Chain A
Amino acid sequence: MRDEKNRGEKPQQENTIVQKANRLVLTRTMLVMLVCGFLAFIPLFCQLFSIMIVHHDEFERKAISNQTRSTSLSADRGIIYDYNMNILASSSSVENVFIDPNDIATKKQDLALIASGLSRILGVKEEFVYQQAADTTKRYKMIKRKIGPELAQQVRAFINENKIEGIYLEGDTLRYYPYSTLAAQIIGFVNMDNQGTEGLESYYDETLTGTAGKVITTKGNYGSEMLNTYEKYYDATDGNSIVLTIDSTVQYYLEKSIENAIEKYDVLGGGFGIVMDVNTGAIKGMATLGSYDPNRYQEIYDTDKAEALEKMYLEAISAGEGTEAYNRGLAAYNKAMAAARLWQWRNRAASDGYEPGSTFKLITLASAINEGAVTLNDSFYCGGAADFTGREQVLHCWKHAGHGMQSTKEALGNSCNIAFANIGLKLGGETFYDYVDAFGLMEKTGVDLPGEAVGYFYSRNYMNPKADGGVSNIISASFGQSFKVTPLQMVRAVSAIVNGGYLLEPYIVSEVLDANGETIMKNDRTVLRQVISEETSATMRDLMEYVVTGGTASRAKTAGYRIGGKTGTSEKLDEFDEYGNPVDDLMVSFIGVAPINDPKYVVLVVLDTPNPATGLYISGGIMAAPTVRDIFADVLPYLGVEPDYSDEDISAINVVVPNVMGRTASEAENMLRERSLTCRVVGEGEKVTGQVPSSGAEVPGNSEIVLYCGDAAPQEKATVPDFMRMTVREAKDTAASRGLYLQSKGTDRNPGYLQVTYQSIEPGTEVAAGTTVTVEFTDNSATD
């Protein structure tokens, strides 16, 4: 065998074989070259082209989502403010503790240690932790939600000390309601997932929630850092805040007074009420009692109810698990619990109808006067009972002796059913119906609250006197029986009656603020229509004042203010006892307007079923009217409605301080209250040992008398300050702080411009504590 290098020297034949063999190698090399250097690369190019060019977008998108971590930026839920920017609801950062059962299992963590640690720090049961850790395919099992920073810190320390993998914390927010039960049904609450569930939290959920943002960050696998990172921010938009028309002070007074009434009159079904601006429809207060604490909305706030439920639960579980009785008992308990919750969350002032009773006579009369069907000069006879053609039963007036001959004004003052039956018939059923409709009593008011109800009324054709039972229906309707309206509808209709006839759309959110506090929406007075004329409205104001000064609502008289209103007592509809018989539970109410000569606020209070066992005569005049009076007395000065200081008024409302020495504090308080005085008790003793001012002194009505009990000694002397140039409010506060009383003179209804221009005692004079200083206010706006 020879090498090819010698081929040139070899014989021709051998050379041919060699060349043939060489050619074979050559052609085969070319063939392999074609395959390895060309053909093989074709699919590679195609494949790369397909991935990199054709499917580039798809792969890039997937790659980016694979390489990026999207961190959600939570948007802060907006704040709910009251009218004075007091915070009613706000959110704070908290944390949730959860475990990753899969981590615990695969990373061989000490479950016993985890269970005991979490149990110790968070107060959860160890068995619960074991339970949550049982399914090791799961990656997220909650241990405890919404814990504060201190507990979270302890959990972190526990994790770090023991180098535990499998316990994790995540951020969350907790909604906090600093005023607890105050306006609870209005504000509502958010559920565990921070979604508004009731009240304004629900109605304005979208506004308050904002939009969660996210940061997209490139991250290497295993969290390694990339050199060329990019980040994309989608800003979270914090929720907007809402400012309510509700004034927490007004709300407090409203709730306090209703609560007192519930206690005083042993009201069984709770009570509700509204304070509204008659000229704008702004709701200043809206209350339903019993209330609940939105911070713990699941708990039954009413202790009696809560105890009854607890008892029910204990009885149910005592039957032993698995038994028929156990299941039945537990089901009943759950049902009762759910009902109790729904009940306490319910805003009855807007979400439920009630029986307006005689307060509705305002609607009947306003309609009749506006229509000219009745004038003030008409007279109505009431003999205690009357027959009406078209009505089978005899109609009895609430006063069985009868009211005798009455003017239109007296008929309203007496709340005479027989007179109003006649007024209703004079008006005519269908016209009456149209007015009820015009007063907005058959439609939603449009208030910005969830779950508003409408109530119900007769159909128009049932109000036709020729229709079967039509007369009877007109008569019932004329004094407010046998139908329902919502408290809010009623308050709005009465506002229209006194404000010149304008039906408004009530509202509860005055402003929406963005995260920077800029106003982005403002609610204002919205007039829907004029229902009655200005004249009719003025007439109605006079008549309503008479109800207080000379009619059934004398207990609504509020020292220093002119009040108008109407009482109402009505049998509850649709309420049956366990035998299916209608129960004679009563709804008592009073709707009042102040000042009636220049209406600013309307207050409605409804008490559901006062207990007859108290022995009191159950009526709106006896029970609801004084409740509204208390509210007016608290709220009007607070809202800057100054008493009308005509000389007459002042003498009328100046009261003589009684002698309460030696009485118990509560006795003294009652005595003072009878004279329209309030008191402040200083000291711990049982008996009053001193009072300022002493008995016989004349002080303005509603003044606060300081009672000293036990060892507490009265402050003997006080120095008269310089009141000059002070405003009404400043003067009052200064006087109160010095233990002095202020008697104001001067008449002007624009308190903002009033300044003290005279004081009866020189500044710096030493006087006995409780001395009354007379000051004169003058309107400086004209001269300045």
Chain B
Amino acid sequence: MANGNQGRRIQPKRGSLDVPFLLLTLVLVTLGVIMMYSASYARAYKDYANAQYYFVRQLAFALGGVVVMMVASYYPYDRLRKWSLPLYVACAGLLLVVLAIGRSSHGAQRWIAVGPITIQPSEIAKFTIVLLFANMASRYREKMQEAKYGLWPFLALLGLIALLTLAERHLSATIILCLIGAVMMFLGGAKIKWFVYFGAAAVVLAVGYLLLFGYASDRITAWLDPWKDVSDKGYQIVQSLYAIGSGGLFGLGFGRGRQKYLYLPEEHNDYVFSIICEELGFVGAALILLLFILLIWRGYWIAMHAKDRFGALLAAGITTLLAIQVFFNIGVVSNFLPSTGISLPFFSYGGTALLMQLGEMGIVLSVSRDCDNNLL
């Protein structure tokens, strides 16, 4: 970091941010807030006798999130490097705290309450891994091919966090952490054969885990045949399929969905996409997926045009994280994947998550400000 000061001194005025990425993000956030209104009012009315309860909160966080995004886009991402390790330590600490005193939710402890807001440390962990691994890989560079640089440190750091989330029985977080960790190592230049070995090991571990934990096995059976136990194990997925299937080509129309009337659990949360399908139809759902795809492409485009490896890895990691979450969420609600609690970025209810996601988008935008077209 000896050049840090010098670098800053000679650093030219930063370029403008990537407009397509910004616009796609804003469109998605806007759609998310609008859909939140439709999806949540029945539940909000039941829970708080105020149909706008969830919508207003989501709107407030979205507005705050956009501010955070813009601020982040001006923040030189380079300076995030020094935050990566402290963040990792804090994150591991928080996970421990959650394990110890965390609030119980759905039979597993995942949340930590700070005043009126709740923080999900595993959510922070995902970003932390992206940041930390981008930092490490961009520093190790060609040494990434050596196991003592490119494999073991990564594996140790990732393993600790993954084990902590596993201890929380927060399976989806564990899976995503492992995936994003692996992708970061892959992007950073780690050896392919390591992925083969550890991929095989992961499969064995996964099978063992499934056999060990009954609730997960139930999810598998419900996934394979949700109709077998419509009233209990398969309830959620069946209700989701009802909603999606009802949509047809053009949907029932915005606000005219029926499954949100307390049939579909988590309708404004993990299963918000089902309501989108129901109300906007295949056309609407495909359009939203397309917006996500465009955003993801633009994210990778920014990564590929980043002025340095750290920026490239950071943008690619954040984009991949987004893609993974979209894939898992929609895979789950459409019963392509077994049920796990993964929210849909920009659409699912959750203030801190939205703030974080938009913050991450801000970081990508920050990378985009320094994009160098000469790289290609």
Contacts and interface: CB of A to CB of B under 8 A. Distances in A.
Interface of A: 1-6, 17-18, 20-22, 24-26, 28-30, 32-33, 36-38, 40-41, 43-45, 47-49, 51-53, 55-56, 58-60, 62-64, 66-67, 218-222, 224, 226-228
Contact of B245 (A43, A55, A222): A55
Contacts of A48: 244, 277, 282, 285-286, 289, 330, 334
Contacts of B45: 224
Contact of B189 (A24, A33, A66, A218): A24
Given A221-B261, A226-B261, 14 more contacts: A3-B308, A24-B189, A32-B183, A32-B316, A36-B327, A48-B330, A52-B282, A52-B285, A53-B282, A56-B249, A58-B245, A218-B258, A218-B261, A221-B263
A32 B241 CA distance: 30
A49 B244 CA distance: 10
A44 B334 contact: yes
Interface string B32-74: 0000000000100110000000000000000000000000000
A47 B142 contact: no
B256 A33 contact: no
B277 A59 contact: no
A56 B251 CA distance: 10
Nearest to B274: A51
A51 B186 contact: no
Interface in B234-266: 239, 241-249, 255-256, 258-259, 261-263
Contacts of A18: 141
B187 interface: yes
Q: Looking at chain B's contact residues, is the secondary structure mostly helix, strand, loop, or mixed?
A: helix
Given A25-B188, A37-B323, A52-B249, A3 B3 contact: yes
A4 B186 CA distance: 19
30 contacts: A1-B141, A2-B3, A4-B309, A6-B3, A24-B189, A25-B189, A26-B312, A30-B300, A32-B316, A36-B320, A40-B327, A43-B336, A47-B334, A48-B285, A51-B277, A52-B285, A53-B282, A55-B245, A58-B245, A60-B246, A66-B239, A67-B242, A67-B263, A218-B261, A220-B261, A221-B261, A221-B263, A224-B45, A226-B258, A226-B261
B91 interface: no
B316 A63 contact: no
Contacts, number: 168
Which 8 pairs from chain A and chain B are nearest by CB? Answer: A59-B245, A220-B261, A36-B323, A63-B242, A221-B262, A33-B300, A52-B282, A37-B296
B363 interface: no
Interface residues of B, number: 60
Given A24-B189, A36-B324, A52 B242 contact: no
B160 interface: no
Given A37-B296, A53-B248, A220-B42, A59 B241 contact: yes
Given A17-B142, A220-B262, A222-B262, A41 B327 contact: yes
B261 A5 contact: no
Contacts of A224: 42, 45-46, 261-262
A231 to B, nearest CB: 13
B300 to A, nearest CB: 4
Contact of B334 (A1, A40, A51): A51
Contacts of A44: 289, 327, 330-331, 334, 336
Contacts of B297: 33, 37
B139 interface: yes
B300 A29 contact: yes
A66 B242 contact: yes
A36 B296 contact: yes
A766 B307 CA distance: 134
Nearest to A227: B255
A55 B297 CA distance: 31
A24 B313 CA distance: 12
Nearest to B51: A227
Contacts of A1: 139, 141
A96 B236 CA distance: 36
A59 B244 contact: yes
Contacts of A60: 245-246, 248
Q: Which of B249, B309, B335 has the most CB of A within 10 A?
A: B309
B201 interface: no
Interface string B260-304: 011100000000000001000110011001000100110010011
Contact of A21 (B189, B246, B293, B296): B189
Contacts of A226: 42, 258, 261
Given A37-B293, A60-B246, A4 B327 contact: no
A67 B258 contact: yes
Contact of B263 (A43, A47, A59, A220): A220
Q: Looking at chain A's contact residues, is the secondary structure mostly helix, strand, loop, or mixed?
A: helix
Contacts of A28: 186-187, 189
Contacts of B214: none
A63 to B, nearest CB: 4
Nearest to A220: B261
B375 interface: yes
B115 interface: no
Contacts of B7: 3, 5
B174 interface: no
A344 B316 CA distance: 92
A24 B189 CA distance: 7
Nearest to A7: B308
A67 B241 CA distance: 13
Contacts of A67: 242, 258-259, 261, 263
Given A3-B308, A53-B248, A59 B261 contact: no
B319 interface: yes
B248 A52 contact: yes
B100 to A, nearest CB: 34
A40 B323 contact: yes
A24 B150 CA distance: 14
A218 B259 CA distance: 11
A44 B328 CA distance: 10
Contacts of A219: 261
Contacts of A62: 242, 245
B324 A25 contact: no
B293 A51 contact: no
B244 A51 contact: yes
Nearest to A33: B300
Nearest to B335: A47
A13 B352 CA distance: 47
Q: Which of A17, A21, A22, A51 has the most CB of B within 10 A?
A: A51
Interface in B91-145: 139, 141-142
Interface in B6-20: 7
Contacts of B249: 52-53, 56
A180 to B, nearest CB: 50
A21 B282 contact: no
Interface string B339-357: 0000000000000000000
Contacts of B304: 26, 29-30
A70 to B, nearest CB: 15
B244 A52 contact: yes
Contacts of A22: 309, 375
Given A41-B327, A52-B277, A25 B309 contact: yes
A37 to B, nearest CB: 4
Nearest to B137: A25
A507 B182 CA distance: 91
A55 B238 CA distance: 13
Nearest to A218: B258
Contacts of B242: 59, 62-63, 66-67
Q: Which of A64, A218, A227 has the most CB of B within 10 A?
A: A227
Contacts of B244: 48, 51-52, 59
A784 B221 CA distance: 94
A55 B244 CA distance: 10
Contacts of B262: 220-222, 224
A55 B227 CA distance: 15
Contact of B313 (A25, A40, A218): A25
